[in-house]
Amino acid sequence: MKNEDSPSKKQIFLEKLSQLEQFTEEEQKQKIEEMNEIMDGMSEKEFDSVFTKELFNKLDKIIEEKKLSMGNAISLMKHIGSCKVLLNSWIFGLFNSLLYRRFEKMIIDEEQKKEGKNEKLLIDLCECYLLLSGIFFPELLSICMPCLLKVALKKEGNEETQKDVEIALLALSRVDNYFKMEPKLFLNEIKEIIQYHQEHQNLTRLAYQSAWQFLIKRFHRDKSLEGVVVNELHFVREAVRELDELSKSVDWKRKEERKKETEEALVIRRWLSVIFYFFASCKPRDGEFVGLLSSIVQIFLASRENSEVISCQCIDTLKKATEVRVAMVDDLLKSGAVDVALEIIVQLATSNELIHGSVEFFWSVCERLKNINEKKNFEAKREKVKRKIFEKLEEEGYEDCIIGLHYLKIINWLSFSFFMKNIEEYFICC
């Protein structure tokens, strides 16, 4: 049992940080390794409470006073950035900090050097900038992108190179989809990285996922990349394989309270985000997404007892595929997605967020069934799907489901009468 008087991870981390300037450069290196280990054990809430504008300004001050070497500062900042990305934290305090401005200036100054350019320093600065920042500027992206793609193209299989490549790709995966880029700036390089891994398995799981995340975000802005994503690089096949293998690596049966997910669970979450973007971007493909939808359903079934975050992501991703009509209703039925949504709706002890998502999913499916243009010659299948859904509702307790939803008031943001009217309209003639 934890002693209530024992210091928290936050307190230990901040105490070590306050002592850094007292040590030599070599001693600082050891202390930073200890601080990095503490960060690795932090929950998202703990992490967000530590990294404030004041903390980054303090770091900038001891760098300015040469009480912390730039090499040690970068080592610390890069680890903060990696944890930030994997925890899906924002660290709002960095953007307006003095340290952020220092990094921006150093990147531009190093890039503009005619002689004596420090390539290693530039790479480190670019990685810190992309990992830590929430807002990117085109001038800095034009420096960071080619710099980090060059690192990510390294093919040596040793552990040190793999780690370098992983950090570079993790940083690149942060470049958001609202940046539209000419394919000539990245496409050949990212294709080579993905295809080489498919043949030689040289990347870590996180690095491979990050490469796809970078590309799918570009696809979200440029639909001309669909042929490359789907046909050349086989995104659907790769996503299914990665999800299935990652799922086998997670101990889903662990019952104890976990403040921090395993790396495999974090990578699963990142894959689900990528698939969400993919569904939002690609054209409908009849029957081609059943395997991918089935993998998401299996992840949901495995995670629903112990990871509400992942199970909610699964439902949101299935909902996206339904809303944007990227998968046929028949595919949703074959994959088990419809069954999962209905099971959630009748399990009234389930979290509100899951039920909200499932109601929206079910509503979208019903709207699709009403649409005569959903699919050519689909009428017979449509009636079959309606019958299956209605039978499932009957089996689970149709009236209890609706009354329960009304009682919990979890759909108060919808019109209850409209929801009821639509359900009766869809199934009255079954």
pLDDT at 389: 64
Reply yes or no on whether the pLDDT at 165 is more than 50: yes
Which of residues 93 and 139 earns the better pLDDT score? 139
Average pLDDT over residues 254-279: 83
The per-residue pLDDT for 193 is 98
The pLDDT value given to residue 276? 96
Residue 210: in which H helix or E strand, if any?
A: helix 205-221
- Pairwise CA distance, residues 411 & 359, whole Å: 8
pLDDT greater than 50 at residue 427: no
Nearest to 298 by CA among 256, 215, 241: 241
Q: Name the residue with higher pLDDT: 375 or 54.
A: 54
DSSP code per residue over 138-163: HHHHHHHHHHHHHHHT----SHHHHH
Please give the pLDDT value at position 278.
Answer: 96
The better pLDDT of the pair 292, 156 is held by 292
In angstroms, what is the C-alpha Rg of the chain?
Answer: 25
Report, as an integer, the average pLDDT of 42-62: 91
**What does the domain layout of the chain look like in residue ranges?**
8-135, 234-254+261-430
- What is the C-alpha separation between 315 and 77, in angstroms, rounded? 35
Q: From 303, 238, 315, select the one nearest 276 (Cα to Cα).
A: 315
* More confident site: 15 or 428: 15
The residue ranges of DSSP E strands in 237-385, in sequence order, are none
Question: How many angstroms separate the first and last alpha carbons of the chain?
Answer: 57
In CATH terms, the fold of domain 234-254+261-430 is: Leucine-rich Repeat Variant (1.25.10)
Question: What digits encode the pLDDT tens for the residues 396-417?
Answer: 565 555 555 554 444 444 444 4
194 token code pair: 């993905």
Please give the pLDDT value at position 397. 60
Calpha distance 145→143 (Å, rounded) = 6
pLDDT, tens only, 374-400? 555 455 666 666 676 667 666 656 555
Q: Give me the pLDDT at residue 333, please.
A: 85
pLDDT tens digit sequence for 101-158: 999 999 999 999 989 999 999 999 999 999 998 778 888 999 999 999 999 999 988 8
pLDDT above 70: residue 229:
yes
CA distance 190 to 208: 11
- Contact (Cβ atoms closer than 8 angstroms) between residue 40 and residue 1: no
Distance set, CA 84 to CA 58, 110, 130, 141, 292 (Å): 19, 25, 11, 19, 28
Looking at residue 297, what is its pLDDT?
97
Q: What is the pLDDT of residue 423?
A: 52
The model carries a pTM of 0.89
How much is the pLDDT for 380? 60
pLDDT tier at 365 (50, 70, 90 boundaries)?
confident
The reported pLDDT for the residue numbered 205 is 96
Higher pLDDT, 409 or 355: 355
Average pLDDT, the chain: 85
pLDDT of residue 84: 92
Q: Which of 23-37, 186-200, 299-313, 371-385 has the lowest mean pLDDT?
A: 371-385
